[in-house]
Structure 1
Amino acid sequence: MPSVVPIFSTILGLQGISAAIAGKWQEEKGPRLSCVLGAFCYGGGLMIAGVGILTHQLSLVYLGYGVLGGIGMGLAYVPPIAMLIRWFPDRRGLATGMTLMGFGGGALVVTPIINYLLKITHKAPQYIGSVDSVQLITEGGRQFAHYAGELREVVVATTRDVYICHIEGLQEGVYLVGSGSTGAGTTLFALGTGFLGVMMASAISLRTAPPNYRPAGWTPPPVTNALVSTKNVHIDTVMKTPQFWQIWLTLGTLSSAGMAGVSVAKTMMSEIFTQALPDIVTPVFTSTYIMLISAGNLGGRIGWSTVSDSFGRQRMFTMFYCVSIPLFAMIPLVVQQATATSSLIPLALFCTSNVIIYSFFGAAYAITPAYEADLFGSKYCGAIHGRMLTASSMASVIGPVTITLLRSKSELAAIKDLVLKIDPSVFYTKFGADVSQLDALVKAKTVTINKLMELVPAGTVDPTPYLYNSTMYCAAGLLCIGFVANYTIKPIDPKYTMIEQGPADPNSDSSH
């Protein structure tokens, strides 16, 4: 996980950075060119990442999926949002929600495609025998065995490892490292080709609304919300306003907490509930759970953003925080109940809580552009939102990296605690090394909690479900900061606004 999670941070981090850098250029050139370049970067990046997996070069995965993918997302993300805000000034929340519904709900369409491609392209690793029948040699924390006259690196799969991998035909025993394939490389290459085609077709259909456009028959209603301005703030001035940084913190904290969970959503379900409810939490159930939170994300983007048009953006974010903070703090208690009983109630609470949390996470991205347009005007909304996405860049690092660090720290502490319960001679017989080499064994994944649980005395509690407790409490604390930032937002000081010219002909049209 420590080697893979940073890729997730890289792509989302560069999305925000590239959107911020290209913001003014996008306003000048229009949405088409930016989205075409984004299509080439994102689609081509997935293809390069696929090649990286097929050739076992992690650097290509970072370059393709992380760097080029992030730049492609940044170039293609903002222009459609800014375009629709200008076409629908009367329904800003709905417009941004509809746009970002595709971004958040894409998993509902793509996940079945990915699962099918993985199923037809994966290859099981080479099985060389049971643990008892293979002589294992431990060197530098890694395990080796003689196979076909050569000393080859191997990995030992436990019963729990086999269950989590979801590979048909896999059994407990010893396997050659690098002999199988998950099918991820071929799948990414195919997805890159598909995304390139779809994004190109979408890009060429975009066109920009004329300045000060108003839909036929619509007259702007009297402004009754103090946080809705009739003036525009220039792109070069907006970062001097305190409101920009307050929204930045609002989006950043909610995103950090959401990304922390999204990056390990499937892992948490597998590690927490597979032992307590093995007959229910099957691979099919886990996939359904991922689809469910994706649906929550999708529903939040369109549902909550539409409600915000009448309820108000600030009130919506206040509600998000007031609900999310206790939900994050409650998850460790739910996990404790899940391990103590075989009841379905903790599982239902866990799934429901996460669906709600991820609906808020999706809504935060959908509502923020409308929030910005309310406060700063729509004239530079695209460029402003590009800079605002640096909050997402921050969140992409803080969320996944924090959850990885906290989990790794909890995992190491749990492993050391389990080792104390095991006779040193039993440990040596199992791993071919003594306890003094524990750090190297853990780093090489030779020693894991699953393997230690086979050696500890009967009745020892498996610590795996509790590895995320510190992360949940950290997320709740982070959300408290965002709550204060949003709650204290005040109207824009007139000294930051522009002197406007008269409105253009609403029946005129322009395109790029």
Structure 2
Amino acid sequence: MSVAAMPSRQFFSRERSIAAPGFNRWLVPPAALAVHLCIGMAYGFSVFWLPLSRVVGGAEPKACPADMGFFASVFATSCDWKISMLGWTFTLFFVFLGSSAAVFGHWLETAGPRKAGLAASVCWCGGLLISAAGVYLHQIWMLWLGSGVIGGIGLGLGYISPVSTLIKWFPDRRGMATGMAIMGFGGGAMIGAPLADRLMSFYATPGSVGVWQTFVTMAAIYFVFMVGGSLGYRVPREGWKPEGWAPSTTAANKMVTSRHVHLNVAWKTPQFWLLWAVLMLNVSAGIGVLGMASPMLQEVFGGKLIGLDIGFSELDAAQKAKIAAIAAGFTGLLSLCNIGGRLAWATWSDKLGRKTTYAIFFILGIILYSIAPWAAQQGNIVLFVLFFCVILSMYGGGFATIPAYLADIFGTHYVGAIHGRLLTAWSTAGVLGPVLVNYLRDYQLDHGVARDAVYNQTMYILAGLLVLGLVCDLAVRPVAEKLFMTDEEVAAEKKTSVAAVVAEEKEPHADFEDYVEEGQAAEAAAADARRAAAAQNGNSRILLFAAWAAVGIPLAWGVSITLQKTFVLFH
């Protein structure tokens, strides 16, 4: 049954999102970016912590009584929240991102990316509205529930919704396609954080820090973009492939399959858990550094950042303010490298192969983490910064490359659901990495280690994690032949005939005249489709330009703001 013959099907169904002949596949990446740039603000939520920590006190935070218990402080309205309490929102983000992606991944494959994207829009933006109410009523549990839990579910759905769709549209450039979309998640904070800062300044009054109003405004803006992106999703029709591309071109690579492994089988294979460990170890090493980038640079180099040969503890308040501005530039530069690495490394993986790309991540990361303490001891700021720029590019590249790695190993039919379950590795890393870096730092400070050396042991431990990651990556092998689905099983899952899976042209015809008539009708329909596609070509180009401009202009604005802050680092 054709798409046109399904008027009774609901608008949000997967069938109604099947692309018409002549659809331009380059319209799908900006749709994915529109969603990812919005949910990527999760990385920039720390911009709210300081204002939220002085909602009651105003200029200075008003501390809760020392004898007030934890649960009492959760519901208290007469004293301010501690930043450590607010930080739980960030933890909840990534715990529920991974868990919701794992739980709803299979549903996404049957419901389609459009419905999943709209569900993500409601959860993410609805969570912001609940958080706004929590700030207005001064109930931190509503912030945790709204943004942390409900928003975290929105993150999981929004993050994986375009993955399998893009892989199916770009079988010839899997890495590049997923890199373009997942780049948006890394870039969301570059747009959202300065936008939030300006909105809070606009809404701030003597009696309000302007956070709840900012949440409401951003929820409205994000809802428009996310719904627009979700409605822009299209899935290719059965049997579609890029013009001039033949699947046989990848047949020589034993690590790339053209068949499919069922979700219920895939997660039980050694390959799944090896790739789970690969992602978890790569992310653990990077996310801990990303979360401590600003204090790390300040404590390691101290006065050297402003031309003074003194340590961090010897600086006065004005000098610390200067190096804090420089460290902000360092953090911004790492964000750019994180974003650029997502697209660059994922694109290169199409040529290098996914296994080789991850091997480069681990080998190069081991070297850089191991010699970073030496660069610090030499006082070489430029070299130290360069090392971590490369490290963070590989951190971002790991996120963007893993969906294509999964598609290579397990096929494309369940890649979205398999990717969803694999993202529990991110949840694990989101706890392991920061805890490892933060607690090791505090432990060494408590035992008298100088501030400029407290990260040395951490760097060596992170290098050790990457050694384990390299071993896991090298151990990945193709899936055993017996684990792949048969054509009949694939057809049953797709609710189509076996002939449609194998090849429609092999289906026998009872009557030669019927065969001729069918062929003539098919040719006429194909000619009509070509004429319609040609007529729509001009409109398609305008739409393509508008779609990319809608995501490109905000992204360019965010990059320009980040570059301005980065300039301070090298000024």
Same fold per superposition (TM over 0.5):
yes
CA–CA distance in structure 1, aligned partners of residues 382 and 208 of structure 2: 36
1:333 corresponds in structure 2 to 374
1:294 corresponds in structure 2 to 335
Q: Deviations over 1:365-412 (max 9, x none)?
A: 111111111111101111111111111111111112222322332343
Q: Deviations over 1:302-343 (max 9, x none)?
A: 1111111111100000000011112223333333344xxxxx
Instruction: Find 1:219's aligned residue among 240, 246, 252.
Output: 246
Shift of 1:39: 1.2
In 2 relative to 1, CA 319–208 (structure 1 residues): closer, same or farther, beyond 3 Å? same
Mapping for residues 149-228 of structure 1, pairs under 5 Å: 181=209, 186-220=213-247, 221-228=249-256
SS at structure 2 position matched to 1:236: helix
2:48 corresponds in structure 1 to none
Shift of 1:350: 2.3
Q: Deviations over 1:149-195 (max 9, x none)?
A: xxxxxxxxxxxxxxxxxxxxxxxxxxxxxx995x5555444333322
Shift of 1:49: 3.4
1:244 corresponds in structure 2 to 272
SS at structure 2 position matched to 1:98: helix
Instruction: Find 2:96's aligned residue among 7, 11, 14.
Output: 14
In 2 relative to 1, CA 387–288 (structure 1 residues): closer, same or farther, beyond 3 Å? same
SS at structure 2 position matched to 1:26: helix
Instruction: Find 1:266's aligned residue among 294, 315, 328.
Output: 294
CA contact (8 A) 1:14 1:71 kept: yes
What amino acid is aligned across from residue 246 of structure 1 in structure 2?
L
In 2 relative to 1, CA 198–272 (structure 1 residues): closer, same or farther, beyond 3 Å? farther
2:285 corresponds in structure 1 to 257
In 2 relative to 1, CA 498–40 (structure 1 residues): closer, same or farther, beyond 3 Å? same
Mapping for residues 450-461 of structure 1, pairs under 5 Å: none
What amino acid is aligned across from residue 407 of structure 2 in structure 1?
A
CA contact (8 A) 1:270 1:286 kept: yes
SS at structure 1 position matched to 2:253: coil
Higher relative contact order (CA 8 A, sep 6+): 1
1:113 corresponds in structure 2 to 195
CA-based RMSD = 2.7
SS at structure 1 position matched to 2:446: helix
What amino acid is aligned across from residue 381 of structure 1 in structure 2?
V
What are the ranges of 5 or more consecutive residues in structure 1 without an aligned counterpart? Answer: 125-178, 339-345, 418-462
Q: Deviations over 1:442-485 (max 9, x none)?
A: xxxxxxxxxxxxxxxxxxxxx33333333322221111111100
Q: Which has the higher strand share?
A: 1
SS at structure 2 position matched to 1:397: helix
CA–CA distance in structure 1, aligned partners of residues 374 and 197 of structure 2: 33
SS at structure 2 position matched to 1:237: helix
CA contact (8 A) 1:249 1:391 kept: yes
2:561 corresponds in structure 1 to none
CA–CA distance in structure 1, aligned partners of residues 214 and 446 of structure 2: 33
CA–CA distance in structure 2, aligned partners of residues 122 and 100 of structure 1: 33
CA–CA distance in structure 2, aligned partners of residues 388 and 308 of structure 1: 19
What amino acid is aligned across from residue 256 of structure 2 in structure 1?
V
CA–CA distance in structure 2, aligned partners of residues 58 and 5 of structure 1: 11
In 2 relative to 1, CA 184–468 (structure 1 residues): closer, same or farther, beyond 3 Å? farther
Instruction: Find 2:357's aligned residue among 313, 316, 322.
Output: 316
Instruction: Find 1:487's aligned residue among 474, 480, 486.
Output: 474
Mapping for residues 34-73 of structure 1, pairs under 5 Å: 34-53=116-135, 56-73=138-155
CA contact (8 A) 1:43 1:194 kept: no
1:442 corresponds in structure 2 to none
2:158 corresponds in structure 1 to 76
The ranges of structure 1 where at least 4 consecutive aligned residues each deviate by more than 6 angstroms after the TM superposition are 504-508
SS at structure 1 position matched to 2:447: helix
Shift of 1:354: 1.6
In 2 relative to 1, CA 474–98 (structure 1 residues): closer, same or farther, beyond 3 Å? same
1:467 corresponds in structure 2 to 454
What amino acid is aligned across from residue 304 of structure 1 in structure 2?
W
1:373 corresponds in structure 2 to 407
What amino acid is aligned across from residue 351 of structure 2 in structure 1?
S
CA contact (8 A) 1:5 1:401 kept: no
Q: Deviations over 1:420-450 (max 9, x none)?
A: xxxxxxxxxxxxxxxxxxxxxxxxxxxxxxx
What amino acid is aligned across from residue 265 of structure 1 in structure 2?
A
SS at structure 2 position matched to 1:276: helix
CA–CA distance in structure 2, aligned partners of residues 47 and 231 of structure 1: 44
In 2 relative to 1, CA 494–10 (structure 1 residues): closer, same or farther, beyond 3 Å? same
Number of aligned pairs? 399
2:181 corresponds in structure 1 to 99
SS at structure 1 position matched to 2:300: helix
What amino acid is aligned across from residue 68 of structure 1 in structure 2?
I
In 2 relative to 1, CA 64–323 (structure 1 residues): closer, same or farther, beyond 3 Å? same
What amino acid is aligned across from residue 322 of structure 1 in structure 2?
I
CA contact (8 A) 1:410 1:467 kept: yes
SS at structure 2 position matched to 1:285: helix
1:458 corresponds in structure 2 to none
Shift of 1:257: 1.1
2:418 corresponds in structure 1 to 384
Shift of 1:274: 4.5
CA–CA distance in structure 1, aligned partners of residues 131 and 441 of structure 2: 27
Shift of 1:14: 1.1
Shift of 1:103: 1.2
What amino acid is aligned across from residue 272 of structure 2 in structure 1?
F
CA–CA distance in structure 1, aligned partners of residues 231 and 221 of structure 2: 16
CA contact (8 A) 1:213 1:504 kept: no
SS at structure 1 position matched to 2:89: helix
1:405 corresponds in structure 2 to 439
What are the ranges of 5 or more consecutive residues in structure 2 without an aligned counterpart? Answer: 1-82, 308-318, 488-497, 506-525, 530-571
CA–CA distance in structure 2, aligned partners of residues 470 and 55 of structure 1: 44
CA–CA distance in structure 1, aligned partners of residues 451 and 146 of structure 2: 33
In 2 relative to 1, CA 119–504 (structure 1 residues): closer, same or farther, beyond 3 Å? farther
Q: Which has the higher helix share?
A: 2
CA contact (8 A) 2:409 2:479 kept: yes
CA contact (8 A) 2:300 2:452 kept: yes
In 2 relative to 1, CA 4–505 (structure 1 residues): closer, same or farther, beyond 3 Å? farther
Q: Deviations over 1:67-89 (max 9, x none)?
A: 12211110111111111101111
2:515 corresponds in structure 1 to none
Shift of 1:284: 4.3
SS at structure 2 position matched to 1:228: coil
Shift of 1:97: 0.8
CA contact (8 A) 2:295 2:327 kept: no
In 2 relative to 1, CA 471–222 (structure 1 residues): closer, same or farther, beyond 3 Å? closer
Shift of 1:201: 1.5
CA–CA distance in structure 1, aligned partners of residues 212 and 470 of structure 2: 41
In 2 relative to 1, CA 52–333 (structure 1 residues): closer, same or farther, beyond 3 Å? farther
What amino acid is aligned across from residue 488 of structure 1 in structure 2?
A
TM-score by length of 2: 0.65
Shift of 1:224: 1.6
What amino acid is aligned across from residue 483 of structure 1 in structure 2?
L
1:496 corresponds in structure 2 to 483
Q: Give percent identity, aligned residues only.
A: 36
CA–CA distance in structure 2, aligned partners of residues 287 and 503 of structure 1: 56
Instruction: Find 1:306's aligned residue among 347, 354, 361.
Output: 347
SS at structure 2 position matched to 1:330: helix
CA–CA distance in structure 2, aligned partners of residues 320 and 105 of structure 1: 21
